[in-house]
Amino acid sequence: MADSTVQPTAEEPVAAPDREQTPSHQPSEHPEAERSQFAQYAPTRDLNDRLVLDLIDAVKGILRKESADRLRDVYLIGDIEKDIARNVIERIRELANDNSRPITLFINSAGGNVTDGLAIHDSIRQLVARGIEVTIIVQGMAYSMGSVVLQAASQGRRLSLPHSWIMIHEPAKWAGWQSTTAAAQHLDRLKQMQSQIYRIMAGRSGKPLRQIIRDTKRVDFYLDAWKAKEYGLIDHVVGAEVAPERDEAIAAEEAAAPVVEATAADVSIHGRSGS
């Protein structure tokens, strides 16, 4: 009789875990190769970073130099009053505190308040006394107190563009007190201001004090750039070496026209037309 007992078959061995499937738990078999692979890119990346930083620093240096050169210019544009005066004074002092390089003030003003104008004048003269060269260039006009501020420039640095105009007149008009009750009430201070301004104009122009008073007494004394140079109110005309010849048509018209004196109603305290 056949043995019906089934002999158990031998179990197949269970496959051992594939160690190659879990490389994260094992050190690399070729660490030197991996390091060399990263090393060949590192120097190039570092070099590029350094070049970019050097380029940025160079551009910043150029921009700083250009900005410093450009920002040594200050502008006095419009009527001279407390806000304009404060801005101009603060700016020139900031520049002077940064370094002692020259400063240029461009002026286009019809005048304004006496004390504010004198404050600008004295602040500029203070810098000049410290050895900082201050150039003042008239572009358009320097009337009334503007012409006084102009006199604050360093020696030989009062300049004007060819078609600019300078006007001086009696300091009573600059104070805005001509023929007013205020003039009588502040007569002593007015006389002191007149004396200060007359002496500033006489000292820088080289004209006798008596002539300054006579030329500005009750009139607005206008001068173009070339006449202002002859009178001593500026030192040079920028961009032109020779004065233009007098236009024959203008000369003929002036010779034929009757002389009409301007009245107080025709001219404002800044020398501008009242119309």
209-220: string of b/e by CB count within 10 Å (b at 16+)?
A: eeebeebbeeeb
Active site annotation includes 144: yes
Quote the CA–CA distance of 98 and 64 in Å, as a whole number.
13
Quote the CA–CA distance of 145 and 171 in Å, as a whole number.
9
State the pLDDT at residue 132: 97
pLDDT tens digits for range 84-143: 999 999 999 999 999 999 999 999 999 999 999 999 999 999 999 999 999 999 999 999
Vertex 48 angle, CA 44 and 49, to 5°: 120
Considering the candidates 123, 147, 160, 169, report the single residue annotated as catalytic.
Answer: 169
Contact of 103 with 95, CB cutoff 8 Å: yes
Give the residue among 95, 94, 97, 142 at the shortest CA–CA distance from 121.
142
Active site annotation includes 24: no
Quote the CA–CA distance of 127 and 274 in Å, as a whole number.
37
Considering the candidates 109, 123, 144, 147, report the single residue annotated as catalytic.
Answer: 144
State the pLDDT at residue 84: 96
State the pLDDT at residue 217: 84
State the pLDDT at residue 70: 65
Q: What is the residue whose two structure tokens read 């007098």?
A: 246
Mean pLDDT per segment of 10 residues, for the chain of length 275 residues? Answer: 52 52 54 59 69 86 70 93 96 94 97 94 97 97 97 98 94 58 71 91 95 88 96 94 67 63 44 40
State the pLDDT at residue 31: 59
If you ran DSSP here, which 8-state letter would residue 25 be given? G
Q: What is the residue whose two structure tokens read 């590029």?
A: 48
Where do the domains of the chain lie, and which CATH numbers do they carry?
Answer: 71-241 (3.90.226.10)
